[in-house]
């Protein structure tokens, strides 16, 4: 099963792109091999979700600070776990979260990060026109990605 984690703060305009994309993918339905989680930030407790026995891969969905727009601006990059800093905080990077999940699982978890460029991260609700365009491109790109990967 592929775990999709959309994260970001929808009260910081374009930062809500990750949760918006996760919501779009959850609403699409029709696939029993996907689990979707939406959170404002990545926290250590999510390592348990990543370490679940039925999870075979994870795709993180997040906004990025960029003025670019269009399908080529949206990227999907492979990730691997890195050792976290010695201080346990309440906000993790995807790589740090993967490291904790690997400790719980006893094995590495295939992972990717999809980033959606945004330009307005100020206080407020709703995405900018640029982020809306990038969100549509991200939705199309992730559907192609989901058709290409095989889940064991």
Read off the CATH number of the domain in which 62 is found. Answer: 3.40.50.1450
Smallest CA-to-CA distance from 103 within 44, 43, 39 is with 44
pLDDT of residue 102: 92
* Residue 152 predicted with pLDDT over 50: no
Enclosing domain of residue 125: 2-148
> pLDDT by residue (tens digit) across 89-137?
546 789 989 999 999 999 999 999 999 999 999 999 999 999 999 999 9
How many domains is the chain built from?
1
Per-residue tokens: 40: 């404002």
> pLDDT by residue (tens digit) across 115-127?
999 999 999 999 9
């Amino acid at each position: 099963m592929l775990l999709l984690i959309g994260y970001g703060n929808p009260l910081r305009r374009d930062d809500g792109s990750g949760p918006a994309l996760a919501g779009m993918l959850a609403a699409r339905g029709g696939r029993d091999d996907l689990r979707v989680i939406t959170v404002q930030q990545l926290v250590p407790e999510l390592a348990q979700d990543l370490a679940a026995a039925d999870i075979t891969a994870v795709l993180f969905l997040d906004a990025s600070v960029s003025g670019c727009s269009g399908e080529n601006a949206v990227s999907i990059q492979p990730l691997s776990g890195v050792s976290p800093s010695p201080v346990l905080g309440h906000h993790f990077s995807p790589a740090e979260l993967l490291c904790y999940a690997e400790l719980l699982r006893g094995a590495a978890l295939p992972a990717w990060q999809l980033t959606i460029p945004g330009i307005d991260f100020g206080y407020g609700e709703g995405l900018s026109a640029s982020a809306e365009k990038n969100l549509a491109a991200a939705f199309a790109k992730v559907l192609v990605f989901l058709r290409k990967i095989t889940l064991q």
